[in-house]
Structure 1
Amino acid sequence: MKKKALVTGAAGLIGSQAVKFLTQKGFQIYGIDNDIRAYFFGKEASTKWNLERLKQEVKDYHHFNIDIRNKKKVEKIFKNNKFDLIIHTAAQPSHDWSIKQPLTDFTVNALGTMILLENFRNYCPQAVFIFTSTSKVYGDNPNKLPLVEYKTRFDLPKKHPLFKGIEETMSLDQSIHSVFGASKVAADIMVQEFGQYFNLKTGIFRGGCLTGPVHSGAQLHGFLAYLIKSIATGRKYTIFGYQGKQVRDNIHSYDLVNAFYHFYLKPKVAAVYNIGGSRYSNISILEAIKKVETILGKKANIEYRQSPRKGDHLWYISNVSKFKKDYPQWNYQYNIDQIIEDICLSGYFASATSKTSTLSFFKNNKNTKENIFLAGHVTKAYGPVQALRHYLSSRTKKLVYAEHLLAKTNNNLLNAFKDIFLNFKWFFPFHKQIKLFIGINPINALSGLILKKIGFKFKLIYYAIDYAPQRFKNPLLNILFHLIDRLNAKQADFVWSSTPQVFDLRKKQGVPDKKNVLVRSGIPLNVLAKKRGSKSKEEKAVLVIDAFLSKEKLTKLAIISFSRLRKKYPEISLKIVLGNANKKELTSLSKRLKVLDKIEFLENIPHQKIFSSYNKYGIGLGLFQVSLKDPAQFRDPEEIKAFLAAGLPVICSQGFTITEEVENKSLGLKVNNSVKNITEKVSFLLSNPDKYKKMSKKALNYSRNSSWKQVFLKALKQVKIKK
C-alpha cells in the first residue's frame, strides 16, 4: 500500500518540488494550494501554471483548492486520509507585504499552521510533520555581528566563531523581526511545542533564501529568482541599501526537499535546523548581477535606493553543521553557480498565464530592431524550444514567447485550437512591432500563417523539430496534421528542418532551396564549457542512459545488459536519467538482477543540468527505437549529442541520422538493440583503451562547433528582416 503525503503550498517553489520528489519515492500525494500568492504579489506571481503542469506530470496527485485557515475543510482532508508525512510550505512569505495586512499575514502563517498541527495530532500522530520556517525568526540580530565591508560584499572575519554561518543557538529576542518574521516565530515555536508536549515527530527548517527555476519571483519575495527574471526580461531591478553588498545563502528547492526526505526517514521530536546554502552556496547582490549578466549576455537595468528595508539582513549565511551531523548522507547537488545557471536556462519569467500556457516578454538594449514572436510546445526534456528561447532572449530587441505544454495538446484537437487562440491573444498587443514569427511545429506555425493571411506583416519561420508519417493514432487527426504541415511548408517564408530526411522531404514537397534550411540539433553551452581532458579509469567505467530518449523498455534492456557486463567488469556502474520512466519498475528489475547497488537514478534535476554532468562519465548508451508509429520518427536527438559533447563514445541504436554519423566518423558503435549486441559493444570499448581514447577525442571534435548558439546564428543569417 502506498504511503500518503500531504503537501501545503503544493503549487509553489518548495511544495511542487516536494510533490515531484515524493512521487518518485512512491508516495501518493495530496496537495493544498489556493494560489493566494497571486493575491499577495499580483497575477504575475500566480502559481496556477505550475499547478496545471503538476497535474499533467504527476499521475497520482490529488489537489485541494482550499485555504489552510479553513478549519472545516482542512479537517475533512485529514479525516479521509491517514498521512505518513506532512510537509507544510504554505505561507505569506514577504516581510514587506506583511506590513500592509498584518492580520492576514498572522492568520496565514500562525493560525494556518496551528490548524494543521491540531489535525496532525488528532488524525495521524504517527506521521512526520515538517515545517518550512525562515531565517527571519532571528530578526535583525545577524546585523549586529562585526561585519567587514569588502569590494563586493559584507562578510565576517574568517576567525569569527560564526564565520561558517548562523547557528540555531542565536537568540530570537531583542530584535526587529518584521511582522512576517514574528508570525513565523509563532508558527515555529508552536511546531516545536507540539513535538515536545505531545511527543510528536516534528522538524523545523529555518531556511535562508530558497530558490529554483519554478520560483514565481516577485519584487517583494524571491531575491535571486526575481533578479534573474528582471535581467532576463529587461525590467528595472531595485537595490535597497547596503550598496548591493548584502549577502544571502541560497539553497536549491531540490536540495531542501532532499533534506526533508532524509529527516522523514529518520525523524526526531521537535528538531530545529538552520538550512540554506551555507558557505557552499552564497552570494551578494552585486556578485549575483555580474554572474547573471555573463550567463544571459545582457546588462542589468539597476536602480539604487539609499535606505534598506526595515529588518532586512545585511548578511545571512546558514550553518548547516547540525543537520549534516544528524544526517551525514545528505549533500548539496547545487552550488550557487549551478543554481543561477539553472534559473537562467529554465526559469519562470512569465508575465501572463493560462493553465498550461505561459507568456514571457524579453527586451534588450541592443542595436537592432528585431522584434520576434516565438511560439512552441515543451516537455520536461531539454530541447530546441528552450534553446531557441534562451538564444533569442539575449539577442533580439524584443522577444514575445508563448510556451505551451505538449502533454496537454497531444491527441487533443480542442486544446490545440486553444493554443492557437492564445497565440493570437498574446500576439495582438505587439502586432505593430513583430517583424518575425517563429512557429515551432505545425500548430504554432499555423497561428502565424493565419495572422499573415489576415494582413499582419512579418516573416514566418516554420520550425519542424520532428516529423513522422504517423503522428497520431487517430487517422483523422493524422490527416489533419499532415495537411497543416504541408500548408505551413508551402506558405511560410522559411522552413527549418531538423534532419536531412525532413529536409529532403521538403524538397519533394516543392519547397524552394532558398527557403528550405537544415537546422540540426545543437548542444547547450553548459555542456561544451565543461573542462575536457583524458578520462580517468573510474570515469570510463561509468555508463549512462537517458530514458527521455530510450524510454522504459530500452532502459530495462540496458539494465539487463549491465548485469551481464558486471560479471566481467565488476567496477562498472550505471547512471539512469529517469525521464518519464517508471522508477519502481526499473528498481524492481535491478533488485532481481542484483545490480541495484551499482545503479544511480538521476531524477528531479533539470535535463540540461544532467547534461553538464556527463563529463564525469565514460560511455553513453544511446538506445532508441524508431518505427512508423513513432510520433517523432525523424528527429535529431540532443540526448546523444550531449553524450558526444562530453567526450563519451556512444553505443547507438539504428534509425536516426546521427547513428550513421556515429559509425562513419568513429564516434562510437552501432547496435541492434539486443542484450548480446549491447554487451559485446560495451565490452569492446572497456577492453580497448586506445580505441576508446580515439573515439572520445573524435566525439569532442565533432561537437566543437555545434552549440545551439552557433546553430541558430547560422540559421538566422538567412532571414533578412526589414528595418
Structure 2
Amino acid sequence: MTYFFTKRSKRFTLIEQPHPGGDSVIPYLEAYKGARRVGCSRFFLSSFLLYPLLKLVHDQSTSPIFKIRDFLSVVEFVFFGNRRYDLFIGLEAVNAIAGILLRKLGLVKTVVYYVSDYSPDRYKPKWVNDLYLFLDRFAAKHSDFVWDVSLAMMPARIKVGLDPQKAAPLIHVPNALFPKQISYLPYSRVVPNSLVFVGTLGWINGPDLAIKALKIVLKSVPGATLHVYGSGEPDMTRLKRLTGKLKLGEKVVFHGFVSDQVKLSQETAKYMLGLAPYLATPGSPRWWADATKTRLYLAAGLPVITTQVPPLGKEIERDGAGIIADDTPTSQAIAITKLLKNKVLYKKMRINAIKRARNNTWENTYKNALRKMGYKI
C-alpha cells in the first residue's frame, strides 16, 4: 500500500499498530511527501498513557485495551496534526470508526472501511462477539466505501443483521502480490511429485492434514515429498511428532520461516502442487477470508489442492487451476494423486494457474478500487 499511494499522493501517512504480544506496543508513524519519507515517530501521548496496561498483555489474541489504543492513536494524530486528509483508509472497524469521527469533525473527506478478516462467530463470550458485530455494522454503514478482500464477507454481514440498503458501497479489493512474486519455473525444472504447504502452522490451516494425506499418496506415488514453509511453537513440535509417528522420515521437509516474500515465491515455484487444506471448522474466519497462500501458489505456477472452506477455492476450481476436495486425508490424497499421475491434466491446470495469476498485482487491486470510487488513476 505504501509503495502504491506514495507514488500518487502529495502527502501520505501510515500508522502501524503493533499486535498484542509483541515487544513493541506503541504505534509507529511514517510520513511521506510524494515518494520521499520525511518523518517517522512513535510519539503518541494516548498510547504512552496506556503503556502500563498494554504491557500487561502477553498473548496475541485480540485485546480491548489495544483496540482503545488504536482508536485514540488515529484520532490523536489527525486531530492535533493540523491537517486535512482527502482519503482515510481504516483497516478494521475501530480504525474506520475513528475515521468516521474525524470526517464528522471536518478533518477527513472520504472514509474507507478496509476489511481483511471477518467472521460472524469470531469471539466468545457472546457479548464480545455481539460488540464485534456491532462495530463492524457501524463501520459498514457509516463509512463512504467498504473494501472487502473477499466477496463472501458482505453476505455474511447481511445474514447476521446488516441492512444491505444502509450499507456503504462495496468494492472487492482482493489480496495480491508484487510483480517480482509472479514468476514460475519451466516445467522441466520443477521437482517431480513434490507438494508444498506455505503459511502459519496452526491446525485449522491444515498442515497436519497435508502430512496425513502424504502418507496415503505415497502408496501410489512412492517418490512424493512434502515441503513445509512456516514456523512457530508449539505447532512445529506437533507436526514433527506427527511426521515421526507416520514414519515419513525425509518425505516431509521443514524449511522454516522465510521472511523475504520474493524469495518465498521463488522457493514455492520449485514444486508441483500447492496445498491449502483448511479444516471445515464452524466459525473459522477462513470461510469468509481471501486465502493468500492460494494466490502465492498460482503466481508460482502451481495448481492448488484446497478444501470447501476458502471462497477463492471455488473460483480457482472454476478456472481449471485447482481441485476442491473434502478436508479428510483420503479426499485430499485422491485429488493430489490425480494430478501427480495425470501429466496432461496437470499441465493444463498449470497453464490455467499461470494465466489466472498474471494480473494479480497490488497495483491492479488498488487502481481498480480507486477507479470505482471515482478517482482518475
Distance change in 2, residues 1:370/1:430 (3 Å): same
CA distance, structure 1, for counterparts of residue 165 and residue 146 of structure 2? 8
Figure out how many residues of one structure are paired with residues of the other and give that number: 352
Residue 484 (1) aligns with residue 138 (2): no
Q: Which amino acid aligns with 1:560?
A: K
Residue 566 of structure 1 is matched in structure 2 by 218
CA contact (8 A) 1:441 1:464 kept: yes
CA contact (8 A) 1:370 1:397 kept: no
CA contact (8 A) 1:541 1:571 kept: yes
Matches of residues 431-446 of structure 1 in structure 2 within 5 Å? 431-446=82-97
Residue 686 of structure 1 is matched in structure 2 by 340
CA distance, structure 2, for counterparts of residue 564 and residue 586 of structure 1? 17
- Where structure 2 has 5 or more consecutive residues not aligned to the other structure, the ranges are 22-28, 48-53
Residue 712 of structure 1 is matched in structure 2 by 366
Distance change in 2, residues 1:674/1:604 (3 Å): closer
Alpha-carbon offset, residue 393 of structure 1:
7.3
Alpha-carbon offset, residue 534 of structure 1:
2.3
CA distance, structure 2, for counterparts of residue 693 and residue 379 of structure 1? 44
Residue 425 of structure 1 is matched in structure 2 by 76
CA contact (8 A) 1:544 1:576 kept: yes
- Where structure 1 has 5 or more consecutive residues not aligned to the other structure, the ranges are 1-231, 234-295, 298-362, 381-388
Q: Which amino acid aligns with 2:10?
A: K
CA contact (8 A) 2:321 2:349 kept: yes
2:120 aligns to what SS in structure 1?
coil
CA distance, structure 1, for counterparts of residue 20 and residue 346 of structure 2? 34
CA distance, structure 2, for counterparts of residue 515 and residue 560 of structure 1? 44
Residue 256 of structure 2 is matched in structure 1 by 603
Alpha-carbon offset, residue 694 of structure 1:
0.3
Residue 468 of structure 1 is matched in structure 2 by 119
Q: Which amino acid aligns with 1:643?
A: Y
1:517 aligns to what SS in structure 2?
strand
1:369 counterpart (10, 25, 30): 10
CA contact (8 A) 2:120 2:157 kept: no
Q: Which amino acid aligns with 1:600?
A: V
Calculate percent identity across the aligned residue pairs.
Answer: 24
Q: Which amino acid aligns with 1:464?
A: V
CA distance, structure 2, for counterparts of residue 634 and residue 682 of structure 1? 25
CA distance, structure 2, for counterparts of residue 596 and residue 527 of structure 1? 31
Q: Which amino acid aligns with 1:654?
A: Q
Q: Which amino acid aligns with 2:242?
A: L
CA distance, structure 1, for counterparts of residue 154 and residue 260 of structure 2? 28
CA distance, structure 2, for counterparts of residue 678 and residue 466 of structure 1? 26
Distance change in 2, residues 1:549/1:712 (3 Å): farther
Residue 413 of structure 1 is matched in structure 2 by 64
Distance change in 2, residues 1:484/1:689 (3 Å): same
CA distance, structure 2, for counterparts of residue 441 and residue 515 of structure 1? 17
Residue 25 of structure 2 is matched in structure 1 by none
2:151 counterpart (486, 489, 500): 500
Q: Which amino acid aligns with 2:350?
A: S
Distance change in 2, residues 1:470/1:505 (3 Å): closer
Alpha-carbon offset, residue 693 of structure 1:
0.2
Alpha-carbon offset, residue 705 of structure 1:
1.1
Give the TM-score taking structure 2 as reference length.
Answer: 0.80
Alpha-carbon offset, residue 564 of structure 1:
2.6
Q: Which amino acid aligns with 1:419?
A: D
Residue 586 of structure 1 is matched in structure 2 by 239
1:696 counterpart (350, 356, 360): 350
Q: Which amino acid aligns with 2:238?
A: E
Matches of residues 502-581 of structure 1 in structure 2 within 5 Å? 502-504=153-155, 509-510=163-164, 515-528=169-182, 530-536=183-189, 539-548=191-200, 551=203, 554-580=206-232
Give CA deviations for 1:395-451 in whole Å, capped at 9, x if unaligned: 768799999999967342122112222223333454514322111111221221222
Q: Which amino acid aligns with 2:257?
A: N
Give CA deviations for 1:283-303 in whole Å, capped at 9, x if unaligned: xxxxxxxxxxxxx69xxxxxx
Q: Which amino acid aligns with 1:427?
A: V
Q: Which amino acid aligns with 1:575?
A: H
Give CA deviations for 1:350-397 in whole Å, capped at 9, x if unaligned: xxxxxxxxxxxxx96x674354555667699xxxxxxxx99x979768
CA distance, structure 2, for counterparts of residue 399 and residue 714 of structure 1? 28
Q: Which amino acid aligns with 1:418?
A: R
Alpha-carbon offset, residue 700 of structure 1:
0.6
CA distance, structure 1, for counterparts of residue 20 and residue 295 of structure 2? 18
Q: Which amino acid aligns with 2:249?
A: L
CA distance, structure 1, for counterparts of residue 260 and residue 124 of structure 2? 28
CA distance, structure 2, for counterparts of residue 407 and residue 465 of structure 1? 24
Give CA deviations for 1:267-298 in whole Å, capped at 9, x if unaligned: xxxxxxxxxxxxxxxxxxxxxxxxxxxxx69x
1:691 aligns to what SS in structure 2?
helix
Matches of residues 443-454 of structure 1 in structure 2 within 5 Å? 443-454=94-105
CA distance, structure 1, for counterparts of residue 100 and residue 92 of structure 2? 12
CA distance, structure 1, for counterparts of residue 283 and residue 303 of structure 2? 29
Alpha-carbon offset, residue 703 of structure 1:
0.7
Residue 200 of structure 1 is matched in structure 2 by none
Matches of residues 196-235 of structure 1 in structure 2 within 5 Å? none
Give CA deviations for 1:517-575 in whole Å, capped at 9, x if unaligned: 111221233321x2443244x52421011342763672122112212322332322111
CA contact (8 A) 1:649 1:668 kept: yes
CA contact (8 A) 1:576 1:600 kept: yes
Give CA deviations for 1:205-226 in whole Å, capped at 9, x if unaligned: xxxxxxxxxxxxxxxxxxxxxx
CA contact (8 A) 1:374 1:439 kept: no
Residue 661 (1) aligns with residue 333 (2): no
Distance change in 2, residues 1:468/1:501 (3 Å): same
Give CA deviations for 1:187-234 in whole Å, capped at 9, x if unaligned: xxxxxxxxxxxxxxxxxxxxxxxxxxxxxxxxxxxxxxxxxxxxx99x
Alpha-carbon offset, residue 633 of structure 1:
3.6
Q: Which amino acid aligns with 2:230?
A: L
The higher-RCO structure (CA 8 Å, 6+ apart) is: 2
Matches of residues 297-312 of structure 1 in structure 2 within 5 Å? none
| Structure number with bigger Rg | 1
CA distance, structure 2, for counterparts of residue 517 and residue 546 of structure 1? 28
CA distance, structure 2, for counterparts of residue 719 and residue 584 of structure 1? 47
Matches of residues 338-353 of structure 1 in structure 2 within 5 Å? none
Give CA deviations for 1:42-76 in whole Å, capped at 9, x if unaligned: xxxxxxxxxxxxxxxxxxxxxxxxxxxxxxxxxxx
